[in-house]
């Protein structure tokens, strides 16, 4: 409250507001976010709740002025930050169309001309002359959206509005937005938590989290990134000293079953390599990936015909996929070398989008005596097809398959 008073006083006096510095308990709602949008382009802004999306939109709309940095906008900006803002509950739909239109910058003649189109789009039928307080929430939103979408805007800023309304209306709204995009005159900035909407409408997207821009680029990539961000994270940790990775870019030990396995085999490092030998913690499904384990046999035991297990555990603790080596098979020596770097290739990785831990186990030949067990994490895998539709779920794996579309049968059917 006092900050507000102070800011207004300084602005009035023409002093620099000093607002580029944070005061006690303040934070940057949007920090260091840059993007450019050209005419006719569509940008999606996605991110978890409280990421700063709405604040960014308010700045784009000129409702609030940034305390640092600048925004350069050419053209008439209209924001659908809240649908039906300015609707007066006592007044009828017809009166509110005129008021809302005027607030959004339309003149009376412009509204008169578009009145029928607005009413038709809103599909409120006989309720046109009923006070909007009696409207269902769907009708309220439809009317608000109908008015806003009929303004001739250069830049349309849409904040999470297609989430409301029924499927038919949502489809109609998306279509109308696509129409605007097709005309090439309107740029759209879209904020939504519905990734399908974003993917359907936007070309590019930025991902915000905690006011920072995490990612910017092609909409599919950004949506995949968001998908990853929204997944539950495992926060099991062992002692920091134990968990520190030995190799740069290597994985940390996140879980160890103490007392079950001896430390006969000591793991010195676990990391993942791509086909070109690059060490990363982020891969896409269709990449070739090698899991690399550097170990040392610290005991005097000779491990002959023992087993090495490598499995991927996803965020729901499902062991999705793995590889098992029995020493002596696949051209490996039957006795485990005292120390070496072991590589197992997954060609391609095949896994669906998730944060994975990698479980690495060494066993004796009976598979009863563990020499080393541990979970190492985390590895992000991104698959570029996100699925949100109910009833459509990603499998845990996308193995390389052979497809065959045999059309011969169909042709014969038609002949007969």
Partner 1 sequence: METSRAEYTKHIQEVVYTPDAHLGFGWHVWREMARELIQSRELMWRLFLRDLSARYRQSVFGYVWAVMPAIVTVVTFTYLKSSGTLPIGETNIPYPAYVLLGMSVWQLFATGLTRTTQSLVQARDIITKINFARETLVLAAFGESIFNFLIRIVLIGVVFAWFRVVPAWTIIFVPFVLIPLALMTVGFGFILSIANGVFRDIGNSLTLVLTFAMFLTPVIYPPPTQWPKVLINYLNPISPFIIATRDLITKGTLSQPDELLWVSVFSLIVFLVAWRIFHLAMPRIAERV
Provide the binding-site residues for partner 1, judged by CB under 8 A: 1, 4-5, 7-8, 11-12, 14-17, 19-20, 58-59, 61-77, 79, 81-82, 85-86, 88, 90-91, 95, 98-99, 102-105, 107-108, 110, 113, 131, 152, 154, 185
Three-state secondary-structure class, residue 40: coil
Residue number, 39 or 393, with CB nearest to partner 1: 39
- Tell me how far, at minimum, the Cβ of 274 lies from partner 1, in Å: 43
What's the min distance (Å) between Cβ of 83 and partner 1? 9
Nearest Cα neighbor of 255 from 352, 345, 361, 381 is 361
> What's the min distance (Å) between Cβ of 176 and partner 1?
15
Whether the CB-CB separation of 269 and 245 falls below 8 Å is answered with yes
**Taking a C-beta distance cutoff of 8 angstroms, is the pair 228, 355 a contact?**
yes
C-alpha–C-alpha distance, residues 112 and 101, integer Å: 10
CB nearer to partner 1: pick between 25 and 235: 25
Minimum CB separation of residue 379 from partner 1 in Å reads 42
Residue placing its CB nearer to partner 1 in the complex, 4 or 390: 4
In the complex, minimum distance from the CB of residue 98 to partner 1, in angstroms, rounded to a whole number? 6
Q: Closest approach of Cβ 114 to partner 1, in Å?
A: 9
Output the smallest distance, CB 126 to partner 1, in A: 20
* Nearest partner of 398 among 343, 360, 336, 347, judged by Cα: 347
Q: What would the two tokens of residue 96 be?
A: 């509110």
Q: What angle do CA 165, 166, 167 make, to 5 degrees?
A: 125
Sign of the CA dihedral with 248 first, then 250, 256, and 259 last: negative
Peptide bond into 342 cis (omega under 30): no
Nearer to partner 1 among residue 1 and residue 401 (C-beta): 1
Contact 113/150 with Cβ under 8 angstroms?
no
Q: Between 73 and 318, whose beta carbon lies closer to partner 1? A: 73
State how far the Cα of 195 lies from the Cα of 189, in Å rounded to an integer: 14
Give the nearest distance from C-beta 122 to partner 1 in angstroms. Answer: 18
Helix (H) or strand (E) holding 145: helix 137-149
| φ and ψ at residue 172, rounded to 5 degrees | -60, -40
Residue with token string 């900006």 = 77
CB of 248 to partner 1, least distance (A): 41
Task: Please say which residue, 195 or 213, places its beta carbon nearer to partner 1.
Answer: 213
Residue 10 burial (CB count, 10 A): 14
Give the span between the Cα atoms of 220 and 203, in whole angstroms. Answer: 9
Residue among 76 and 212 whose Cβ is closer to partner 1: 76
DSSP 200-221: HH-SEEEEEETTEEEEEEEHHH
């Amino acid at each position: 409250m006092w900050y507000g008073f102070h800011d207004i006083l300084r602005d009035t006096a023409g002093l620099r507001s000093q607002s580029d510095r944070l005061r006690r308990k303040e934070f940057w709602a949007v920090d260091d976010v840059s993007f450019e949008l050209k005419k006719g382009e569509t940008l999606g802004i996605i991110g978890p709740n409280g990421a700063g999306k709405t604040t960014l939109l308010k700045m784009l709309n000129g409702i609030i002025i940034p305390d640092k940095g600048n925004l350069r906008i050419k053209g008439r900006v209209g924001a659908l930050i809240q649908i039906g803002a300015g609707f007066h509950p006592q007044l009828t739909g017809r009166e509110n169309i005129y008021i809302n239109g005027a607030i959004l910058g339309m003149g009376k003649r412009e509204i008169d001309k578009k009145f029928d189109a607005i009413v038709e789009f809103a599909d409120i039928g006989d309720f046109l002359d009923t006070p909007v307080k009696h409207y269902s929430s769907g009708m309220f939103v439809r009317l608000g959206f109908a008015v806003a979408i009929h303004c001739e805007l250069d830049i349309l800023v849409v904040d999470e509005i297609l989430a409301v309304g029924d499927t038919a209306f949502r489809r109609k709204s998306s279509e109308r937005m696509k129409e605007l995009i097709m005309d090439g005159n309107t740029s759209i900035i879209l904020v939504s938590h519905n990734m399908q909407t974003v993917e359907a409408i936007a070309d590019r997207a930025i991902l915000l989290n905690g006011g920072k821009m995490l990612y910017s680029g092609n909409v599919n990539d950004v949506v995949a990134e968001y998908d990853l961000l929204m997944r539950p994270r495992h926060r099991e940790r062992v002692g920091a000293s134990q968990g520190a990775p030995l190799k740069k870019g290597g994985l940390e030990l996140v879980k160890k079953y103490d007392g079950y396995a001896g430390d006969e085999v000591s793991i010195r490092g676990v990391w993942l390599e791509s086909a070109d030998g690059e060490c990363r913690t982020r891969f896409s499904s269709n990449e070739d990936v090698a899991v690399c384990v550097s170990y040392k046999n610290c005991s005097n035991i000779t491990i002959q015909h023992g087993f090495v297990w490598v499995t991927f555990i996803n965020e729901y603790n499902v062991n999705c996929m793995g590889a098992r080596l029995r020493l002596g098979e696949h051209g490996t020596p039957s006795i485990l070398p005292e120390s070496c770097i072991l590589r197992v290739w997954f060609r391609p990785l095949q896994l669906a989008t998730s944060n994975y831990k990698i479980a690495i186990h060494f066993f004796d030949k009976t598979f009863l005596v563990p020499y080393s067990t541990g979970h190492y994490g985390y590895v992000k895998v991104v698959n570029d097809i996100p699925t949100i539709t109910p009833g459509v779920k990603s499998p845990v794996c996308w193995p390389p398959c052979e497809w065959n579309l045999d059309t011969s049968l169909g042709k014969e059917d038609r002949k007969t």
